């Protein structure tokens, strides 16, 4: 089988800080655009049991894609050590992602280790295994879950996940998560014009009056294989107008600087929704996220075309101070703002969302 499109690895030893300001290791690191770290996303597997066309299209990932062997994955102790250093540098939220993270065996062990840190621990899942896992995850210390749900109509949902998985089982997972105390559950819907934009109002109506927070995400050009076309993007402003015609909305302030979802609430008090507008209204200037791949590459952007080999440094026997210095070096040299520059850059191989997490 062929591997994924080549994503260059930068050995940390070859990576040099070129920021002009001196670094004080006792203060939070800031990148070239003045952004401080707040969020860490840890992908624990590049495998998934869905084949959503905007993420893992079947014609690519079931034909010639080589998934990572288990021996290459970071183990839970390595992940926890890295996470502890990120928390010491200012990270306040860790999100466990994939692939589908619930495919990683005994994931609750990792959650239990991460929950000992002074940080919020969340997880994003397609919900297929959530009904079985919710209580274990909650007992291990998980704070919240985000569940992907691209349609309420069963036929539309099965077409989008492309493995004939029924929507009722995802809804059961959401109920189980709420019952286990993993709320408020955030429900993410990727909207493709002409595919599932007819599901916007049914989803809004279904979750109105519930404690769950529904969020709509513009179809993004993540990776190199999802067939992204600009005319399939439904701008968030148009989506908000559609919902407002049925259920009037009013804008809310962000919970914190760098929050990616623009928040809205129903005027009649029946809950909150969000929109994530990476295409029509880029939010790069406030991005506070760092990402770690399943085998320990450090990525500074969802749309990155290269990663930094953190696993190599980790397994070479470096101490925590050296590892912390490496992370600060990568962050201080960061200047990513792909969504602001979309269309200006030359085409290139980008990391796949199923590998690094959304």
Question: Residue 243 sits in a domain of what CATH number?
Answer: 3.20.20.70
Nearest to 65 by CA among 357, 354, 297, 300: 354
Distance of alpha carbon 53 from alpha carbon 47, whole angstroms = 15
pLDDT tier at 107, thresholds 50, 70, 90? very high
pLDDT reported for residue 136 = 98
Whether residue 2 lies inside any domain: the answer is: no
Asked if the structure places residue 163 within a domain, the reply is yes
Nearest to 135 by CA among 97, 179, 78: 179
DSSP annotation string for 66-99: -PPPGGGSPPHHHHHHHHHHHHHTT--EEEEESS
Instruction: Write down the pLDDT at residue 16.
Output: 42
pTM above 0.85, yes or no: yes
Going by their DSSP bridges, the two strands 249-251 and 186-191 should be labelled as unpaired
Confidence at residue 256, expressed as pLDDT on a 0 to 100 scale: 73
Structural domain total, the chain? 1
Residue 345 has pLDDT above 70, yes or no: no
Contacts 24+ apart (CB under 8 A), 231-235: 231/193, 232/192, 232/193, 232/194, 232/195, 233/193, 233/279, 233/280, 234/191, 234/192, 234/193, 234/197, 235/277, 235/279, 235/280
Residue 212: predicted pLDDT: 98
Provide the pLDDT for residue 14: 46
Residue 206 is assigned to a structural domain of this protein? yes
More confident residue, 11 or 81: 81
**Lowest-confidence region among 57-66, 81-90, 156-165:** 57-66
Q: Among 99, 141, 147, which residue's Cα sits nearest to residue 120?
A: 141
Q: Write the pLDDT tens digit of every residue in 127-165.
A: 999 999 999 999 999 999 999 999 999 999 999 999 999
Reported confidence tier of residue 11, pLDDT bands at 50, 70, 90: low
* pLDDT (average), residues 20-42: 79
Do 257 and 286 meet the contact criterion of CB atoms below 8 Å apart? Answer: yes
Q: Are strands 249-251 and 262-266 parallel, antiparallel or unpaired?
A: antiparallel
Q: Is residue 3 part of a domain?
A: no
What is the band of 125 on the pLDDT scale with cuts at 50, 70, 90? very high
What is the overall mean pLDDT for the chain? 87
Task: Please report whether residue 1 resides in a domain.
Answer: no
Q: CA 119, CA 101: separation in Å to the nearest integer?
A: 19
Which structural domain range is residue 147 located in?
Answer: 9-356
**Residue 314 lies inside a defined structural domain of this protein:** yes
Query: Residue 24: pLDDT band by 50, 70, 90 thresholds?
Result: low
Q: What is the mean pLDDT of residues 23-29?
A: 70
Q: Is residue 129 part of a domain?
A: yes
Of 197, 179, 175, 196, nearest to 187 (Cα)? 175
Choose between 50 and 278: higher pLDDT.
50
- 4 within a domain of the structure (yes/no): no
Instruction: Specify the residue for token string 């129903």.
Output: 266
């Amino acid at each position: 089988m062929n591997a994924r499109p080549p994503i260059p690895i930068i050995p940390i030893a070859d990576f040099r800080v070129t920021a002009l300001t001196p670094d004080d290791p006792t203060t939070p690191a800031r990148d070239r655009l003045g952004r401080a770290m707040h969020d860490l996303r840890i992908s624990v597997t590049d495998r998934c049991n869905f084949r959503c066309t905007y993420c893992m299209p079947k014609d690519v990932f079931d034909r010639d894609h080589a998934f990572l062997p288990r021996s290459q994955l970071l183990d839970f102790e390595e992940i926890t050590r890295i996470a502890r250093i990120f928390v010491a540098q200012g990270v306040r939220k860790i999100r466990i992602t994939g692939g589908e993270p619930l495919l990683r065996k005994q994931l609750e062990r990792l959650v239990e280790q991460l929950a000992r840190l002074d940080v919020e621990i969340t997880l994003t899942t397609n919900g297929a295994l959530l009904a079985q896992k919710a209580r274990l995850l909650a007992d291990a210390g998980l704070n919240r879950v985000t569940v992907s749900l691209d349609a309420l109509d069963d036929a539309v949902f099965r077409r989008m996940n492309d493995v004939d998985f029924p929507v009722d089982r995802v809804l059961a997972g959401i109920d189980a998560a709420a019952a286990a105390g993993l709320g408020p559950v955030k429900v993410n819907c990727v909207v493709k014009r002409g595919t599932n934009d007819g599901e916007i109002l049914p989803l809004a109506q279904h979750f109105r009056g519930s404690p769950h927070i529904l969020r709509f995400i513009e179809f993004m050009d993540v990776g190199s294989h999802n067939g992204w076309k600009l005319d399939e993007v439904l701008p968030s402003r148009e989506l908000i107008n559609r919902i407002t015609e049925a259920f009037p909305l009013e804008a809310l302030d962000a919970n914190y600087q760098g929050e990616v979802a623009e928040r809205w609430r129903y005027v009649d008090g029946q809950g909150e929704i969000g929109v994530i507008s990476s295409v029509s209204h880029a939010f790069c200037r406030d991005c506070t996220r760092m990402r770690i791949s399943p085998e320990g590459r450090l990525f500074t952007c969802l749309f990155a075309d290269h990663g930094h080999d953190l696993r190599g440094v980790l397994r070479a026997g470096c101490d925590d101070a050296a590892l912390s210095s490496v992370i600060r070096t990568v962050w201080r040299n960061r200047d990513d703002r792909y969504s602001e520059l979309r269309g200006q850059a030359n085409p290139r191989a980008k990391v796949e969302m199923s590998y690094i997490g959304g």
